[in-house]
Amino acid sequence: MDDTEKSEVLKAVEGLTPVDPQGGDEVKTTIYNKAFDDAAGELEQSLVDREGLDLRIRKLRDAILALANMLDAHDSARQKRLKQLIRRLPTGSQNLTDAVLDAVYYASSRKLTAPGVRDHVAKRSPELAENPQLLAAIHSTLKRLERQGELASKTVDGETVYSVPREGPAPTGRRRLRLKLIHGNSQRVLPI
For residues 72 and 83, membership in a common domain is answered with yes
For residues 2 and 76, membership in a common domain is answered with yes
For residues 44 and 98, membership in a common domain is answered with no
> 169: domain range?
93-183
Per DSSP, the three-state class of 111 is coil
Percent of the chain with pLDDT over 90: 17
Domain count, the chain: 2
For residues 100 and 79, membership in a common domain is answered with no
Residue 153 · residue 161 · CB < 8 Å: yes
Report the residue count for the chain.
192
Condensed to tens digits (0 to 9), the pLDDT of residues 160-173 reads 999 888 765 545 55
Q: Which helix (H) or strand (E) holds 65?
A: helix 25-68
The residues facing 112 across adjacent strands are: 162
Least confident span in 4-8, 58-62, 103-107, 138-142: 4-8
Q: Which helix (H) or strand (E) holds 66?
A: helix 25-68
Condensed to tens digits (0 to 9), the pLDDT of residues 4-60 reads 655 655 565 545 444 555 555 676 778 888 888 888 889 888 888 888 887 888 788
Q: Of 46, 77, 92, at which residue does a domain stop? A: 92
For residues 76 and 122, membership in a common domain is answered with no
Q: What integer pLDDT is reported at residue 27 of this predicted model?
A: 66
Residue 95 identity: N
